[in-house]
Amino acid sequence: MAGSHRRWLAAAAAAVLLILASCRVASAAAHGRAGERSFPSALTIDDPFVSDELSLPTVLHIKQPGEGNMPPGQLTNISGELSKRIFPDLGLTLSGAYNILDPGENGTTQSGFDNLQVRLKYQFLTIDEHEGAVTAAFGWVAGGTGKKKAGADSFDLFKPALLFGKGMGDLPEALRWLQPLAVVGVVEGVLPSRSGTKTFMLNDAGDLQVDIEKIANVFHWGFAVMYSLPYLENFVTKASLPAVIRQLTPLLEIDVSNPLDRGQAGKTTGTINPGVIWAGKYFQVGVEAVVPINERTGKNIGIRGQINFYLDEIFPTTIGRPIFTWR
């Protein structure tokens, strides 16, 4: 089964390369925009921009140590996310995922949908002259909507968050080679609807045994640092890069979760994710490595890939527009 997963991923990567090879290169469009800065959508860290877009698919493949409902083994996570503007600065995001858990020779492969996620975003501050934006968000993971054996929890999660983005185009001319840099980040609470779960089972003596698993409140934070070659070409210098290369944005993402209580404090997990994004007018393609920061997170490097469609560019007069606009 693991071999078939790798073949599937190789086929997907080949398909992406064929798409890029057949595309006529166009100037990069705005995913999220602040002043002259166009921010591509990071693969791991949510950005502060309210937009109309579809991420489908995002594929993660990694060997994990296992936690909660997730047994150790190979995880292939295939997810999709739809973002829709309700008002120009207020948007709703729906996302779901399908998990394939392969424990190897010691178990049976499990697969099924993860819990449905909903997030409301309000971009309350945009400073064009400094290429900055700040957004308040509230997320809800609907417990019990997915398959437990595939890793879905039975309880809800609530996620209040603050998202931010900042481009460095306002740096002085002496630092102009740093002007293509930008950063997006998130600080977020992950609050479970219950403090623990109970599992009832029979022990070897035939007596009923209750296993209680504590569920901690978590402080989640992360950021992505990007270096935009389109920004370099358009606003800093004519680098005369090859057409495909000048559409690239190398990036480094850091994603960390810090449990706070209920016996889990200090059990930090997280990943470092170096990668690259190719952005065209109507869509972007990204790929990155997934490197665990400690043994608790895992010992093996994974891979994440994503195709993101800019609905506001593909359908500018229909589904790519806000449902309501201010008059």
Q: Give the least confident one: 7-21, 81-95, 165-179, 221-235.
A: 7-21
Contact residues for 279 (Cβ-Cβ < 8 A; gap 6+) = 28, 29, 31, 38, 40, 230, 247, 249
Q: Residue 16: which H helix or E strand, with range?
A: helix 2-22
* Contact status, residue 78 vs residue 59, Cβ threshold 8 Å: yes
Q: In the predicted model, is pLDDT for residue 200 greater than 90? A: no
The structural domains of the chain, with segments of one domain joined by +, span 2-314
- In 3D space, the residue among 164, 89, 154, 83 whose CA is nearest the CA of residue 118 turns out to be 83
Q: Give the mean pLDDT of 59-73.
A: 78
Q: What are phi and psi of 119, to 5 degrees?
A: -140, 130
Residue 38: pLDDT band by 50, 70, 90 thresholds?
very high
Q: What is the three-class DSSP state of 75?
A: strand
Q: So what's the pLDDT on residue 243?
A: 83
In terms of pLDDT, which residue wins out, 105 or 290? 290
**pTM here?**
0.85
Query: Each residue of 292-301: pLDDT tens digit?
Result: 999 999 999 9
State yes or no: pLDDT of 91 exceeds 50. yes
Give which of 81, 59, 55, 77 is closest to 12, Cα–Cα: 59
Beta strands in 51-195 (DSSP E): 53-64, 73-87, 90-102, 110-113, 117-127, 132-141, 157-167, 181-192
* Nearest one of 99, 105, 104 to 68, comparing CA atoms: 99
What is the residue whose two structure tokens read 């950063």?
Answer: 183
Q: Tell me the pLDDT band of 31, cut-offs 50, 70 and 90.
A: confident
Whether the per-residue pLDDT at 241 is higher than 70: the answer is yes
Q: Which two tokens stand for residue 53?
A: 């877009």
Average pLDDT over residues 144-161: 92
The yes-or-no verdict on residue 327 having pLDDT over 80 is: no
Q: What is the three-class DSSP state of 93?
A: strand
What is the rounded distance in angstroms from the CA atom of residue 195 to the CA atom of residue 97? 25
- The one-character DSSP state at 70 is B
In this structure, whether the domain defined by 2-314 belongs to CATH 3.40.50.720 is answered with no
* pLDDT at position 137 over 80: yes
Tokens of 325: 């606009």
pLDDT on residue 69: 57
Provide the pLDDT confidence category of residue 198 given band limits of 50, 70 and 90: low
- The mean predicted confidence, pLDDT, of the chain is 87
Flag whether pLDDT at 188 surpasses 80. yes
Contact 221, 256 (CB under 8 A): yes
In this predicted structure, what is the pLDDT of residue 210?
A: 66
